[in-house]
A = this chain, B = another copy of it.
Amino acid sequence: MADAPPPLDRVQLDAYFALIEVVGLLRHAVEQQLREAGDLSYVQFQLLARLNDAPTGSHRMTDLADGVVYSRSGLTYQAGLLEKAGLVTRAPSAEDERSITVTITDDGRARVAKVLPGHAEVISRMLLEPLSRDDVEALAGLLEPVRDHMRATPPRSAATRRRRR
């Protein structure tokens, strides 16, 4: 054994626990709202929202999976459900025969529009309410570098295959 790893101090633990707990509670609330308002799971909503924001209204499967931090096989399943529901379409990419391009349909956009207000309402009530405008700015300012760090550093999350050079 080399040096014992430095244990975390009180403040670090506080920040970590608060982070996990806040997101856990928030996700629960959001999930419930999405289910009631538009019969969507959280992942499905995230996928539709991403497609809805994309200039072309479409993305590759892999990019979607990475974007929402999800397994590839899980994405295949969810994309299948969304397609069955008529909210997206799947088509092989012209440029790369291997890729599938997922595109949001008008029904998909409508569904997003339908649940969005309630979604915003939950975020406001649960997360934003106890924070001042400056607080929210500070929070975003703190977390964004962390996200970038995590995206850049790690050995590519749950992918069986990684490595590229």
Contacts and interface: CB of A to CB of B under 8 A. Distances in A.
Given A137-B11, A143-B15, A5 B120 contact: yes
A125 B16 CA distance: 13
Contact of A150 (B14, B25, B118, B138): B25
Copies in the complex: 2
Contacts of A155: 29, 32
Interface string A11-41: 1101110111111111111001000000000
A140 B69 contact: no
B128 A12 contact: yes
Interface size class, chain A = 35 or more
A142 B135 contact: yes
A129 interface: yes
A164 interface: no
B22 A123 contact: no
A43 to B, nearest CB: 11
Given A25-B157, A157-B28, A8 B120 contact: yes
Given A18-B140, A138-B138, 9 more contacts: A8-B124, A15-B127, A18-B143, A19-B26, A19-B127, A19-B139, A22-B146, A24-B68, A139-B143
